[in-house]
Amino acid sequence: MSAADLLARQRAAFAAAPRPDAAARRAALAALARAIRAHEAALIAAVDQDFGGRPAAETQALELVPLYAQIAHARRHLARWMRRRVAGSPFLWPARAFWEYQPLGVVGVIGAWNYPILLTLGPAVEALAAGNRVVLKPSELAPRTAEALAALVSGAFPPEQLATVTGGVDVARDFSAQPWDHLVFTGSTRVGREVMAAAARNLTPVTLELGGKSPAILHESADLPRSVARLMTGKLYNAGQTCVAPDYALVPPGRIAAFEAEAARAVARLYPKGLGADYTRIVSDGHLTRLRDLVADAGRRGARVVELAPVPPGANGRIMPPTLVIDPDPDSPLMREEIFGPVLPVVPAETLDAALAFVNARPRPLALYYFDDDRGRQDEVLARTMSGGVTLNDTIFHLAQLNLPFGGVGDSGMGAYHGLDGFAQFSKKRPVMVQARWAGTALVRPPWGARGRLVGTLLAAARRLAGAGR
């Protein structure tokens, strides 16, 4: 069934039942959790095949555990999120006012290939919690996972509630051109612009979770062994194919040699048996070639390239070794494009001011990481930078905080989801005023005459409350 057919079918179903209660929404989320549980083995195997090698534990830890946690969080907080909130204004007393979250209707979700389970089903969790119907378009770059997700969904839900469309780029373009009530896209900034342009023709609101070059700043005082171990762990999850992976590190020049040594030790601890079964492969030959070309170009421009672990002799699969690129040309493709792989440029930054200037001269990133125990400097970094999210003294894990929104800013995206923010994103926060039988507003309408003096009294009171005085 096409995206257009599913949209029409779900829109008709939504019109017939536009406000599902909390019990129905919890039941839908529980059904999703049970379906994921029943298909866990198939999903893990599909991801492994799509990547040509990804450890089952990595898929479990980085996709399934967060997804179950997201579902549990939504089910636990749903009744509070749905509660009407009083929002009366004293100047309109005795009228009552409140606001409530109303489902938008039908939400389209275009998933990503790098975390094809979490980034496809994750937005659906809060869209379902908000009372919507949902159509999914998994990434065509992870085709086996797309088919596994389609089997999961079709076995657990009627197509009027949750459905999947699979196919290539043409299907994805058609999907983004449909008049959804909301559209979610996770992927590159380049494709995000295309999705937004297609959605604009229907005035479809969008949530764009894009990427960018997320910096990691190490202060002169940072605990280097601890900081580098955490930085390299975040960089090498999924072989760096993570939208919030640290894209480059800003390091005081005098600490670069020590940074390099700690990075090598960190890789040796993470992969004591070498780059074998515990190390994720690059998703395609094209992506692997691109990464190698970025590193080679940086080397030709004068950067020093350091491979932190050898590719095993005769190894099968698309292995890109953990690689540092020391002092790259700031204008090189490596420093202009999102890397999306296990390559970490290390950029000298004499001072914190220099590091912040370097970050602020570039598009706003999806994530920012700062390593320093000093609270004052932490606050200074927060005040002087803008990014989608921040983790201090670690990387990536702000995404697992379900009470915090996940989303970008500027080139790294717009909108956010996770927890209440996701519930609100896929809802209309609808204001309602209930006028009283005897309304004070009857005193502020023509003919003005004596009522004009009452308006003057109200104006004087409003001035005083606003701090405008007389």
Catalytic machinery residues = 209, 243
Distance CA 367, CA 15 (A): 39
3-state SS of the chain is CCHHHHHHHHHHHHHHCCCCCHHHHHHHHHHHHHHHHHCHHHHHHHHHHHHCCCCHHHHHHHHHHHHHHHHHHHHHHHHHHHCCEECCCHHHCCCEEEEEEEECCEEEEECCCCCCCHHHHHHHHHHHHCCCEEEEECCCCCHHHHHHHHHHHHHHCCCCCEEECCCCHHHHHHHHCCCCCEEEEECCHHHHHHHHHHHHCCCCCEEEECCCCCEEEECCCCCHHHHHHHHHHHHHHHHHCCCCCCCEEEECHHHHHHHHHHHHHHHHHHCCCCCCCCCCCCCCHHHHHHHHHHHHHHHHCCCEEEECCCCCCCCCCCCCCCEEEECCCCCCHHHHCCCCCCEEEEEECCCHHHHHHHHHCCCCCCEEEEECCCHHHHHHHHHHCCCCEEEECCCCHHHHCCCCCECCCHHHEECCECHHHHHHHCEEEEEEEECCCCCHHHHCCCCCHHHHHHHHHHHHHHHHHHCCCC
Distances (CA, A) of 345 to 169, 246, 328, 372: 32, 10, 7, 20
Q: What is the phi-psi region of residue 16: left when phi exceeds 0, alpha when psi lies from -120 to 50, beta otherwise?
A: alpha
- Pairing type for strands 367-371 and 215-218 reads parallel
Query: Position 270: which residue type?
Result: L
For residues 101 and 424, the answer to whether their CB atoms sit within 8 Å is: yes
Tokens standing for 5? 């057919």
Residue with tokens 């006028």: 435
